[in-house]
Structure 1
Amino acid sequence: MSRKVEARSARIGVFKAGGTSILIVKNSKYDVWELPGGTQEPQEPINWTARRELREETGLEVSIRNLTFAGSTKYWGRKSSFHECVLYYTQFMDTKGILQQYPKDENISETMWIDFYNSRIAETMKFHPFSQFALHMLHSKLKVNS
């Protein structure tokens, strides 16, 4: 009998003021780039999850207010299935925030600001498929709100 795992997680698209650069992190376990974030801890409000994960992965402190969209993904394996609901937040900040050179999170090997509107980035960097989808969704949501 297979084991069923359900999780809630939060990720955050952090933009430099002006909205042209977005922060990404490299997941060393899977060798992919993604938006900062991770799994909710028991009894933790989900927006606090995004804030905590951002701090652990990048050293940045921000207040989390803007829920942008939610997504869901499922994985099936031989011994287990996994369903994850992901809430995506956005936050704009001034550029005074200093990224940690060596993130506290052992699964993060690098942090980087990238040009959010450069469509060639997805072609040249290896993104987690759901993060690639999230970047596309952020593009469309931010165009509607601007």
Structure 2
Amino acid sequence: MSNPATVIAAGGVVWRESHGSRQVLLVHRPRYDDWSLPKGKLAPREHVLVAARREIEEETSQQVVLGPPLGVQRYDVRKNGGTVPKLVLYWAASLAGPEQEFEPNDEVDKLEWLPVGKAKERLSYPRDVDILNCLDAVLPVESTVVILRHAEAVKRKEWSGKDTVRPLSDEGLASAERLSGVLAALGVNRIRSSDAERCAGTVTPYAASIGRRIHLHPEISEQGYEKDPSALEKVAAKAWKPGKVTLICSHRPVLPALAEALGLPVGKYATSAFMVAHRLADGRVIRERFGAP
């Protein structure tokens, strides 16, 4: 007999600073009469970062951006008369704007902002306290960098024009659209890209959605890197900007050197794969890798 499919869910710890104290947002679920952290199951083919943001916003009415990861919960739940494993991933989540008026619904009927210590006492499940205990260790974030390999392009052998203008394939265009939601969940607000069309085209849907221009850098194109491998250090030196979430889109041959210049681990990236790196005020860097959405 095959193992039952794992239920995948995502959520976050929504936090704010108020009167010199860090507060977190808890939700009350009338169905269970419990206090918990906002979370919910992924929709089919939904990226886990998109799901975390969506579930937080649906349950709390607050618009958020995701920060560093806080951990994973594993436990069993009842489903279809049996028991299946459940996996829940959590991120720190900060308000993306002014606090919004809460609209009670069937899933959540009450919210409450509480200081961290009181929130630990209010939470109904020790596993949620364990997640909350991780919050202070990942804050404050000074700056964030997302490095991304471009989406799938038309194959070289099928393209007769200049390589710099080789466009995304149909699958690449679809992936670029999906990436837009992921980048929104991370709150990307600075966009840097190779000047090659396949890189610029990958980040264009997101740039258009937030009304930001794409800063093109020949230094991180394949041709630019071959000509002068050290030139990308200029891009890397300006990437860690305090208070900003900077996206850098480049190519497979360039990304290892770019990662090294940023002080990040060197690795291989499939098309549309990316790394998110958060630099904390104490100098530590928290990072996580994701495949294509």
With the shorter chain as reference, the TM-score category is 0.7 to 0.9
Alpha-carbon shift at residue 58 of structure 1 (Å)? 1.3
Q: Which has the higher helix share?
A: 2
Alpha-carbon shift at residue 39 of structure 1 (Å)? 0.6
Higher RCO (CA < 8 A, seq sep 6+): 1
Q: Which runs of 5+ in 2 are unaligned?
A: 140-279, 283-293
Question: Which amino acid is the alignment partner of residue 39 of structure 1?
Answer: K
Q: Note the 1:79-118 alignment, pairs <5 A.
A: 79-93=81-95, 96-100=98-102, 102-103=103-104, 105-118=105-118
CA contact under 8 A between 2:8 and 2:42: conserved in structure 1? yes
Aligned length: 139
TM-score normalised by structure 1 residue count: 0.77
Give the aligned partner of residue 31 of structure 2: 29
Greater C-alpha Rg: 2
Give the aligned partner of residue 40 of structure 2: 38
Q: Which has the higher strand share?
A: 1
Alpha-carbon shift at residue 75 of structure 1 (Å)? 4.1
Match of 1:131 among 111, 114, 128: 128
Q: Which runs of 5+ in 1 are unaligned?
A: none
% same residue: 23
Alpha-carbon shift at residue 85 of structure 1 (Å)? 1.1
CA distance in 2, matches of 1:59, 1:76: 28
CA distance in 2, matches of 1:52, 1:27: 17
* Structure 1 residue 13 corresponds to structure 2 residue 13: yes
CA contact under 8 A between 2:62 and 2:95: conserved in structure 1? no
Distance of aligned partners of 1:88 and 1:98 in 2 relative to their CA distance in 1, 3 Å threshold: same
CA distance in 2, matches of 1:117, 1:32: 18
Measured against aligned partners, the alpha-carbon deviations of 1:20-59 in whole angstroms (never above 9, x if no partner) come to 1001100111111111111111111111111111111111
Alpha-carbon shift at residue 69 of structure 1 (Å)? 1.7
Alpha-carbon shift at residue 84 of structure 1 (Å)? 1.0
Q: Supply the RMSD in Å over aligned alpha carbons.
A: 3.0
CA distance in 1, matches of 2:57, 2:86: 22
CA contact under 8 A between 1:57 and 1:108: conserved in structure 2? yes
TM-score normalised by structure 2 residue count: 0.41
* Structure 1 residue 68 corresponds to structure 2 residue 65: no
Question: Which amino acid is the alignment partner of residue 51 of structure 1?
Answer: R
Alpha-carbon shift at residue 81 of structure 1 (Å)? 1.4
CA contact under 8 A between 1:5 and 1:80: conserved in structure 2? no
Runs of 4+ in 1 over 3 A off after TM superposition: none
